[in-house]
Structure 1
Amino acid sequence: MSDKNKEILVVEDDELIRGLQKNKLEKAGYEVDEAQNGLEAWNKIKDNRYILILIDIFLPKMDGFQLLKNIRSQEIPAKTIVLSSKSQDKYIKKAFDLGADSYLTKPFDPANLIKTVRTTLES
């Protein structure tokens, strides 16, 4: 791990959604880094110490489930929130089975994102 101390990594392939999440989190006082695919995120996670990682499920190059599995198998201590348009129980269950700390279904109110981030970090 390097000495960089990014607080939150937003992993989202949609540039507009990623930018909105980053903007909202920065306005709430967090330092935010971003990745547009699972492989880029994994490389950043190996080189930085994040306190929280927001993960979309359907990502290019490595999907969010595989990314989450990698994070937990390497015992990376960051909290994780899965953000997905999929609200079916099978997706939610799989995310929690792989070690997600929280799950937020898109679309969501930006205020709910901040509330979920704070609640997850406090747990």
Structure 2
Amino acid sequence: MSAHVMIVEDDENVREMMDIALSQAGYQVSAVSNGQSALDLLNRQRFQLVLLDVHMPRMNGLELLGAMRRMKTAPPVVMVSANTQGDTVRQALSLGCSGYLAKPFSPRDLVERARWAIAGPVPMTMH
């Protein structure tokens, strides 16, 4: 069974590119355009990863990330944004995001980051 990934992105072109890249890589993909739709879907389905845009109308990605962290079982989240300012990145990390992918990005970078986030942290070993 392939991992189920949710894309939360208000830009239709970016959302479609992400959907195609992840689907071609073998992931099951659900894509929504806003935070409220994402919360509704998270309450009905299980996901192994959420790819979350920072800047969206009504509920931005950081607000959604905060709401997700209050859920009992929240999947890992990778924030996706052209905004790589330190404050935004720090806030996302403090809210528990697993990673940050800067726009623009290639489909290959997207799939690589998804694989990394779904696999989870690799334990460090000392020799």
The answer to whether the Cα contact below 8 Å between 1:85 and 1:107 also exists between their aligned partners in 2 is yes
Which residue is 1:79 aligned to? Answer: 76
Which residue is 2:99 aligned to? Answer: 102
Name the count of aligned residue pairs.
119
Structure 2: where are the runs of 5+ without partners? 121-127
Which residue is 2:123 aligned to? Answer: none
> So what's the TM-score if we normalise by structure 2?
0.89
1:38 aligns with 2:35: yes
The whole-number CA distance in structure 1 between the counterparts of 2:42 and 2:92 is 18
Deviations 1:31-54 (A, max 9, x none): 000110111111111111111000
1:6 CA displacement? 7.2
Which residue is 2:13 aligned to? Answer: 16
SS for the counterpart of 1:50 is coil
Structure 1: where are the runs of 5+ without partners? none
Counterpart pick for 2:64 among 64, 67, 78: 67
Amino acid at match of 2:44: D
Deviations 1:65-119 (A, max 9, x none): 0110111111323111000010111111111100100101100121111111111
Inter-CA distance 46–6: structure 2 relative to 1 (3 Å threshold):
farther
Structure 1 residue ranges (4+ consecutive) displaced by more than 2 angstroms after TM superposition: none
The whole-number CA distance in structure 2 between the counterparts of 1:114 and 1:28 is 7
Quick check: which has more Rg, 1 or 2?
2
**CA RMSD in angstroms, aligned pairs only:** 1.4
The percentage of aligned residue pairs carrying the same residue is 31
The whole-number CA distance in structure 1 between the counterparts of 2:83 and 2:3 is 28
The whole-number CA distance in structure 2 between the counterparts of 1:6 and 1:110 is 17
1:113 aligns with 2:113: no
SS for the counterpart of 1:47 is coil
The whole-number CA distance in structure 1 between the counterparts of 2:102 and 2:71 is 26
